[in-house]
């Protein structure tokens, strides 16, 4: 009788000696029966929850070739702990005419497959539940519930019995400074790709010991991974964000997000690396990159192209008036209509040096936009309209508040009627109706928006001072200053339309009033969208189009 032996151990906590021990007891049994051992198969430190194991796959392949008549193992759970998988192995062995014999169960039959397979599957589930329970307890004590994060070192210590104390972390000062550098660079406007390139150029190793990539920095905000999303950097452990489910086709684990109500959050201020101001600035930039605003002013998801960092100050904003397509670099210095060059469906073949276009637009932003005389007229009209909206809004809000007070008075009256022995059923029905209306009114009041603030008559002057300072900042030696100034200047422009006229290009610069007003109000961040985002300031309204000869 030709026999094959199989052995397996599942975790790194066990040793290769476990394989040797399993083979020894199986070999002793086979020799006692007078069987000939033709092959030994093994899998080291691999879970029995999957058949994607080199040893078991080789065993099945050789069984189908008829190399042996019996497979021996210490127990059924060495072959597999999964019900479906053990049944599959049993069916394949039966097809090949090979018996499965274990030291624990003897010859394996359909009954063993059904009962033992179920018991092994329950063992795996019970083990997983106990492991999660232990990890949760560790997290609630302020310890790490999983692998180590970049910026921290594992604290190796032992209790009185010599057992390792797991989950303690301490800040790695050198890596913590790299984390702060990443956040500072990201906040001033550098892309994750550029940050990764600079870290690699400086010889700084990534978390895995290799080179940095942009995905290591960006990660996934929803899953809380990546350098920019790790809340441990602000002294907060978030555990149980996701669970893992095995794909039955591939045997690989797939992550599935858990509801936020199931997250375990523990404050660990001693592990803080990033201060709140820097963290919030990074989150705000992530949100700005991820979302934009549509024509109706509502927030929409930006496409991948919108999220890419512009190479030049007005990249992506320049449009062709003939076809609506974008202008792009057609040589080292010239920018031209992409549609005309790439598809040939646009007749606009005129180009313009990028540096000259930027200079003209910047001069227009400095000297032509927000003309003081025209802006005063606009400001007066805007103020009158805002006052009208305020009066209407205030009257509406006052009416809602009055109705809430009236409902509260009616509810008190109905409650007194119940106490005096009134018809409870009818009164309760009325009270439910009134409570529903009250909740609706309170929701309307909570969500009501106040009209935008009035405009200051000197906003045009403030605007010019700000833009002049930004123009100077573009010439600054500091890269951080230039990047920040460029982003703010881009926020003032909605689009730049180039129209060919004879031998010239007419340039119409259309400004985004929300960004313009934010600059004029001396706010830190442009493009605030409260109430004025749908108003455009275009050529002809304090901003004459520039026309110049090529």
In a domain, residue 147? The reply is no
Please give the backbone phi and psi of residue 64, each rounded to the nearest 5 degrees, phi first: -70, -20
DSSP 262: G
Long-range pairs for 41-44: beta carbons < 8 A, 24 or more residues apart: 41/4, 41/5, 41/6, 41/7, 42/6, 42/7, 42/8, 43/8, 44/8, 44/9, 44/16, 44/19
Classify 542 in phi/psi space as left (phi over 0), alpha (psi -120 to 50) or beta.
left
In a domain, residue 269? The reply is yes
Given this model, what pLDDT does residue 528 score?
34
* E-strand stretches of 365-470: none
d(CA 271, CA 394): 48
Given this model, what pLDDT does residue 122 score?
76
Residues 32 and 114 in one domain: yes
Q: Residue 259 is part of a domain; what is its CATH number?
A: 3.90.1750.20
In a domain, residue 162? The reply is no
CA 546 remoteness from chain centre:
42
Lowest mean per-residue pLDDT among 63-67, 118-122, 251-255? 251-255
CA 449 remoteness from chain centre:
29
Given this model, what pLDDT does residue 459 score?
62
Please give the backbone phi and psi of residue 275, each rounded to the nearest 5 degrees, phi first: -80, 165
Angle at 185 between CA 213 and CA 208, to 5 degrees: 30
Residues 364 and 233 in one domain: no
Residues 69 and 189 in one domain: no
In a domain, residue 415? The reply is yes
Residues 469 and 357 in one domain: yes
Tally the C-alpha atoms within 13 A of residue 488's C-alpha that lie toward its C-beta: 27
Rounded mean pLDDT, 181-185: 92
Angle at 12 between CA 9 and CA 16, to 5 degrees: 55
Tokens for 549, please give them. Answer: 């000869």
d(CA 455, CA 458): 9
In a domain, residue 507? The reply is yes
Residues 260 and 346 in one domain: no
CA-based radius of gyration for the chain: 35
In a domain, residue 293? The reply is no
Residues 194 and 246 in one domain: yes
Tokens for 458, please give them. Answer: 């000197």
Which structural domain, as residue segments, surrounds residue 476?
310-369+458-549
Rounded mean pLDDT, 524-533: 35
339-356 residue pLDDT tens: 888 877 888 888 888 888
Which range has the top average pLDDT, 78-92, 249-263, 363-377, 470-484? 78-92
Q: Using DSSP, state whether 20 is helix, strand or coil.
A: helix
Residues 117 and 265 in one domain: no
In a domain, residue 494? The reply is yes
Tokens for 357, please give them. Answer: 């276009």
54-106 residue pLDDT tens: 889 999 999 999 999 999 999 888 888 777 788 889 999 999 999 999 998 89
In a domain, residue 295? The reply is no
pLDDT band at 515 (very low <50, low <70, confident <90, very high): low
Residues 123 and 30 in one domain: yes
The pTM assigned to this predicted structure is 0.47
199-236 residue pLDDT tens: 999 999 998 888 898 889 988 887 778 899 988 899 88
Residues 351 and 443 in one domain: no
| CB atoms near residue 152 (< 10 Å) | 21
Q: Which of 63, 66, 75, 68 is nearest to 10 (CA)?
A: 75
**Overall domain count for the chain:** 4
């Amino acid at each position: 009788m030709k026999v094959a032996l199989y052995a397996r151990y599942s975790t790194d906590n066990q040793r290769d000696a476990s394989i040797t021990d399993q083979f020894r007891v199986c070999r002793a049994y086979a020799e006692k029966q007078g069987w000939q051992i033709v092959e030994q198969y093994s899998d080291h430190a691999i879970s029995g929850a999957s058949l994607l194991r080199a040893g078991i796959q080789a065993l099945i392949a050789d069984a189908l070739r008829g190399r042996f008549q019996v497979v021996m193992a210490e127990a059924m759970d060495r072959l597999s702990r999964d019900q479906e998988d053990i049944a599959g192995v049993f069916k394949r062995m039966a097809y090949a005419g090979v018996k499965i014999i274990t030291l624990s169960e003897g010859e394996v039959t359909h009954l063993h497959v059904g009962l033992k397979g179920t018991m092994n599957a329950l063992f795996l589930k019970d083990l997983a539940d106990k492991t999660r329970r232990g990890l949760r307890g560790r997290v609630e004590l302020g310890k790490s519930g999983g692998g180590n994060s970049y910026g921290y070192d594992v604290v190796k210590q032992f209790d009185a019995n010599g057992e390792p104390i797991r989950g303690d972390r301490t800040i790695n000062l050198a890596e913590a400074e790299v984390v702060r550098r990443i956040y500072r660079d990201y906040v001033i406007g550098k892309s994750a790709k550029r940050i990764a390139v600079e870290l690699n150029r400086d010889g700084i190793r990534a978390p895995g010991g290799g080179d940095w990539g942009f995905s290591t920095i960006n990660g996934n905000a929803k899953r809380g991974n990546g350098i920019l999303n790790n809340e441990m950097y602000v002294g907060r452990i978030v555990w149980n964000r996701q669970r893992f489910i095995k794909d039955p086709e591939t045997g690989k684990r797939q992550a599935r997000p858990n509801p936020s109500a199931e997250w375990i959050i523990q404050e660990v201020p001693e592990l803080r690396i990033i201060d709140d101001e820097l963290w919030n600035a990074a989150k705000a930039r992530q949100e700005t990159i991820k979302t934009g605003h549509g024509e109706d002013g509502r927030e929409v998801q930006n496409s991948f192209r919108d999220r890419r960092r512009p190479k030049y100050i007005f990249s992506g904003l320049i449009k062709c008036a003939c076809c609506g397509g974008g202008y792009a670099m057609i040589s080292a210095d010239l920018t031209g209509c992409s549609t005309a060059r790439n598809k040939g469906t646009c007749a606009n073949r005129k180009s313009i040096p990028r540096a000259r276009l930027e200079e003209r637009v910047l001069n227009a932003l400095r000297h032509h936009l927000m003309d003081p005389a025209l802006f005063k007229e606009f400001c007066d009209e805007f103020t009158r309209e805002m006052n009208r909206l305020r009066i209407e809004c205030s009257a509406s809000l006052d009416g809602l508040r009055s109705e809430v007070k009236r409902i509260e008075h009616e509810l008190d009256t109905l409650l007194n009627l119940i106490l005096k022995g009134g018809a409870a059923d009818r009164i309760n029905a009325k009270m439910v109706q009134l409570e529903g209306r009250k909740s609706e009114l309170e929701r309307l009041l909570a969500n009501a928006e106040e009209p935008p603030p009035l405009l200051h008559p000197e906003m045009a002057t403030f605007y010019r001072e700000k833009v002049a300072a930004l123009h100077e900042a573009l010439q600054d030696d500091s890269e951080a200053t230039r990047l920040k100034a460029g982003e703010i200047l881009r926020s003032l422009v909605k689009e730049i339309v180039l129209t060919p006229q004879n031998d010239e290009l007419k340039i119409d610069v259309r400004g985004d009033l929300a960004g313009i007003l934010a600059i004029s109000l001396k706010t830190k961040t442009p493009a605030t969208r409260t109430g004025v985002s749908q108003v455009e300031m275009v050529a002809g309204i304090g901003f004459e189009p520039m026309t110049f000869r090529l």
